[in-house]
């Protein structure tokens, strides 16, 4: 029996606040933390599997063409090599990790430099690597389009908006901005590279992999292999980061499964860091033209965001750059659209906060430019332009503490005390900047099973994943709160497709979606306890492993009387998501020091204030915001994928040359989380927070650079050569 809720109306019951255990929202340590810091949490390529063979992918050295010859015979004769596998079922492009996206196969048709073509399998990893390095592959090359702006064939994205007359609004505006910014491609660069171990038992496949959305991943793998999904089990209890790169099945999983079946022994395929960069997923680069028109009071009368992004031919994903621009600010005249350039570069897909991560950064730079033109404080300008309702369709907003985030953030940072235009401290020019944060909120279908056993202990089972985001902790807290248990009496089991199918980790929907399914299962168990006690739910208090009713406290073990209670919960998105505009909000404030000699920028302090519905765990939520803001520092100052203009290969395909922010780059960051409930979102009244911390963060830093130096860097990242050139 499953308790099922389709989210058609707001849930105003506020159930979690009525519970008595007092653990929800608290900064609970991660239950999986001790396992991870002691090395006892087993990741995808760490399983001890008997008779394990190792595979290494061999990839294309051209951007476009057809494989004409693979000299397998010479490599198969090498010491320890078991097979050279070329199979049309291997992936050319990774899957995108959604219900409607099938993996792209046929690796003999080359679409980008670095595309997997063959797999060399050997007894040891070193032998497989040697064989892969020795394998000769001939490609009949063709002319490739590798530059989105110069070569790409552009097509219109279907999600644009044209409303009113933006051209006239720009002509009539008291103040206007018409600027073009460019952002580079980004790589997820998750700590754990992609890896899979495939093992067959008859017609059944077990894959130990590093993946985010197992119910989709199982179907993608089944599609690739041509088998029934029921014959596949994926195990992914611990994932060392994903950021979107592990949403869909990637080449190593399919290759390992094919090889393991052919060789009748388990096969491991682990990608090197350059292979991850070149064969998995990238965030698209963008060219964004922003137009803002404002009246004499700084109120927007028009807003435009026209973007160019790229992807491989045939891929449906297009970076949704203007996703939140549609509703963040007022302005009755609007042109928000996107073109997609078809190029022969590594597949573009979802990287942390697709859309807002780059779209809001550029919009917030343009808003800063408008604030300076109009002579209005940047915080005040944003507050004046918060719309009452969705400016394009009139839908009401759900919970929205956007203005509060701006005010509280400014207060915490000391924004009113800053010296606009910066100050000088010896060699260093000091400036401050701010930007808004916004991210759409989503709910996904999710299931979970909860069992309360005879000893009064609860077990949660779902195929949900934890990428280091805190899923184990959050589901523990929801269960403990609803069933009145100390957290040490709750065990959460994740990452196994034999368990009820969850939402998966992506789009910042994981905690709220999977948490709601656990909540519903716990509500069912509470109802079963009420039936045994003969009371209504509002008469029952569960606390510290006991039921309190009619002035009597009864241990749960006595109520269960040697038996157990089990329930399943399922949450499903419904009309609530269509009736209101749900989003999360925030504000960033940054102080930078820029060397007047070299143009080097150092972030000296940074603050973020955020509102995201009910906070389920203050520690993990803060950690997610910190991580997003650190990524914002990297986006602002160092991160960019560099493509060779001749063949489109990624020049900086490792962490030595793709410069993410490191400890020396990151100051003490402070995070403030505002109290909020959103009944439109789900029964928990919680919203996603994992991606919110990155959406606009980089703009606060580049706006601070302008405050310090007067230099506007419109071509990200703001490296010292670009800053010094403007000075």
| DSSP β-bridge partners for residue 570 | 4, 447
Strand order in the sheet with 565-573: 2-7, 565-573, 446-452, 458-461, 490-493
Residues making up the chain, counted from first to last: 727
Q: Are 542 and 20 in contact (CB under 8 A)?
A: yes
- DSSP assignment letter at 117: E
- DSSP assignment letter at 25: B
Residue 99: strand, helix, or coil: coil
Q: What is the CA radius of gyration of the chain?
A: 27
Q: Are 323 and 440 in contact (CB under 8 A)?
A: yes
DSSP codes of every residue in 69-96: EE-HHHHHTSTTEEEEE--TTSEEE---
Q: Are 349 and 94 in contact (CB under 8 A)?
A: yes
Active site residue 523: no
Torsion of the alpha carbons at 57, 61, 62 and 63, rounded to the nearest 10: 50
Q: Are 415 and 434 in contact (CB under 8 A)?
A: yes
- Strands 116-122, 81-85: pairing kind: antiparallel
Task: Name 328's Cβ contacts closer than 8 Å, sequence gap at least 6.
Answer: 360, 363, 436, 438
Q: Are 221 and 228 in contact (CB under 8 A)?
A: no
Distances (CA, A) of 443 to 352, 508, 582, 692: 17, 9, 10, 15
Q: Choosing from 192, 199, 481, 691, which is the catalytic residue?
A: 691
Task: Name 600's Cβ contacts closer than 8 Å, sequence gap at least 6.
Answer: 594, 720, 723
Task: Name 104's Cβ contacts closer than 8 Å, sequence gap at least 6.
Answer: 91, 92, 93, 95, 314, 315
Token pair of 677, please? 């409930």
Phi then psi for residue 226, to 5 deg, are: 75, 40
User: Burial code of 369-393, b = ≥16 C-beta within 10 A, e = fewer?
Assistant: bbbbebebbbbebbebbbbeeebbe
Q: Give the chain's end-to-end CA distance (angstroms, integer).
A: 68
314, with CB counted inside 10 A (0-12, 13-18, 19+), is: exposed
DSSP codes of every residue in 336-392: EEEEEEE-SSS-B---SSTTHHHHHHHHHHHHHHHHHHHT--HHHHHHHT--SS-TT
Task: Name 255's Cβ contacts closer than 8 Å, sequence gap at least 6.
Answer: 55, 57, 85, 90, 91, 116, 119, 269
Catalytic machinery residues: 691
């Amino acid at each position: 029996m499953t308790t099922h809720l389709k989210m058609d109306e707001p849930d105003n019951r506020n159930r979690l606040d009525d519970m008595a255990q007092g653990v929800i929202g608290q900064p609970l340590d991660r239950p999986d933390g001790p396992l991870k810091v002691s090395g006892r949490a087993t990741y995808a390529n760490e399983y001890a599997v008997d008779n394990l063979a190792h595979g290494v992918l061999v990839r294309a050295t051209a951007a476009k063409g057809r494989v004409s010859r693979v000299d397998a015979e010479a490599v198969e004769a090498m010491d320890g090599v078991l097979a050279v596998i070329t199979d049309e079922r291997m992936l050319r492009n990774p899957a995108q990790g959604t219900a409607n996206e099938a993996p792209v196969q046929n690796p003999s048709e080359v679409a980008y430099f670095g595309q997997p073509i063959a797999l060399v399998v050997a007894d040891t990893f070193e032998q497989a690597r040697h064989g892969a390095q020795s394998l000769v592959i001939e490609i009949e090359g063709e002319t490739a389009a590798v530059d989105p702006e110069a070569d790409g064939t552009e097509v219109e994205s279907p999600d644009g908006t044209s409303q009113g007359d933006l051209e006239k609004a720009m002509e009539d505006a008291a103040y206007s901005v018409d600027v073009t910014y460019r952002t580079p491609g980004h790589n997820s660069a998750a700590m754990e590279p992609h890896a899979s171990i495939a093992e067959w038992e008859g017609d059944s496949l077990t894959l130990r992999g590093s993946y985010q959305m197992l119910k989709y991943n199982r179907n993608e793998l089944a599609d690739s292999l041509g088998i029934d999904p029921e014959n596949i089990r994926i195990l992914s209890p611990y994932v060392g980061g994903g950021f979107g790169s592990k949403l869909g099945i990637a080449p190593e999983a399919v290759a390992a499964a094919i090889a393991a079946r052919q060789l009748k022994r388990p096969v491991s395929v682990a990608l090197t860091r350059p292979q991850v960069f070149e064969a998995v997923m990238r965030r698209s680069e963008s060219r964004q033209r922003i137009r803002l028109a404002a009246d004499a009071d700084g109120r927007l009368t028009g807003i435009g965001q026209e973007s160019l992004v790229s992807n491989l031919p045939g891929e449906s994903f297009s970076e949704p750059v203007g996703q939140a621009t549609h509703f963040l600010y007022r302005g009755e005249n609007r042109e928000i659209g996107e073109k997609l350039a078809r190029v022969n570069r590594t597949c573009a897909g979802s990287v942390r906060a697709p859309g807002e991560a780059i779209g809001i950064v550029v919009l917030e730079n343009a808003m800063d430019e408008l604030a300076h033109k109009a002579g209005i404080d940047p915080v005040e300008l944003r507050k004046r332009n918060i719309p009452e309702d969705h400016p394009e369709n009139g839908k009401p907003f759900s919970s929205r503490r956007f203005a509060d985030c701006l005010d509280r953030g400014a207060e915490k940072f000391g924004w009113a005390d800053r010296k606009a235009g910066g100050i000088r401290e010896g060699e260093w020019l000091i400036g401050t900047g701010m930007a808004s944060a916004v991210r759409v909120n989503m709910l996904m279908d999710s299931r979970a099973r909860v069992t309360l056993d005879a000893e009064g202990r609860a077990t949660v089972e779902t195929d949900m994943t934890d990428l280091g985001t805190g899923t184990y902790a959050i589901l523990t807290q929801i269960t403990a709160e609803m069933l009145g248990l100390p957290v040490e009496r709750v065990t959460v089991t994740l990452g196994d497709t034999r368990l009820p199918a969850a939402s998966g980790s992506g789009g910042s929907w994981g905690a709220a979606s999977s948490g709601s399914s656990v909540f519903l299962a716990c509500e069912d168990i509470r109802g079963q306890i009420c039936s045994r006690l003969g009371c209504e739910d509002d008469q029952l208090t569960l606390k510290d492993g006991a039921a309190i009713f009619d002035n009597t406290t009864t241990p749960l073990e006595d109520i269960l009387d040697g038996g157990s209670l089990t329930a399943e919960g399922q949450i499903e998105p419904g009309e609530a998501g269509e009736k209101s505009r749900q989003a999360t909000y925030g504000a960033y404030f940054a102080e930078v020091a820029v060397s007047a000699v070299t143009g080097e920028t150092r972030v000296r302090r940074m603050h973020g204030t955020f509102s995201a519905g009910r906070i389920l765990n203050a520690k993990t939520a803060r950690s997610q915001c910190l991580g997003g803001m650190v990524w914002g520092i990297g986006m602002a100052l160092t991160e960019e994928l560099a493509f060779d203009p001749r063949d489109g290969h990624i020049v900086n395909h490792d962490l030595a040359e793709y410069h993410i922010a490191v400890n020396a780059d990151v100051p003490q960051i402070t995070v403030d989380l505002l109290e909020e409930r959103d009944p439109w979102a789900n029964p928990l009244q919680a919203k996603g927070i994992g991606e919110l911390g990155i959406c606009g963060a980089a703009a606060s830093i580049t706006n601070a650079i302008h405050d310090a130096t007067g230099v506007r860097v419109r071509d990200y990242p703001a490296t010292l050569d670009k800053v010094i050139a403007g000075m």
